[in-house]
Amino acid sequence: MQAAPVRATAIPSFTDALRAVESVLLSSGQRTARRNAWTSVLEDRRRAKDRVEVQRVLDQTFSVSS
């Protein structure tokens, strides 16, 4: 008697679950708008982080030369 093969089913991530709910609730245009908005938020955060880093470098540069 052979044992039946065990099949593992991946549990969807939280992000996958949210995307599934989003696809049911929103039209494709709304999904695209939401994704574009989120991409803009991430880009704004990246630029803000870059500005902080540049300011830190400038502050260090001018404090050393003073």
> How do the domains of the chain map onto residue ranges?
28-65
If one compares 56 and 9, the residue with the highest pLDDT of the two is 56
If one compares 25 and 2, the residue with the highest pLDDT of the two is 25
DSSP output for 1-59: -PPPPP---PPPPHHHHHHHHHHHHS-HHHHHHHHHHHHHHHHHHHHHHHHHHHHHHHH
CB-based burial of residue 48 (10 Å sphere; 0-12 exposed, 13-18 middle, 19+ buried)?
exposed
Q: Which pLDDT belongs to residue 65?
A: 64
pLDDT digit string (tens) for 15-63? Answer: 888 888 877 877 778 888 989 999 999 999 999 999 999 999 999 998 8
Instruction: Give pTM, 2 decimals.
Output: 0.53
Q: Which pLDDT belongs to residue 4?
A: 67
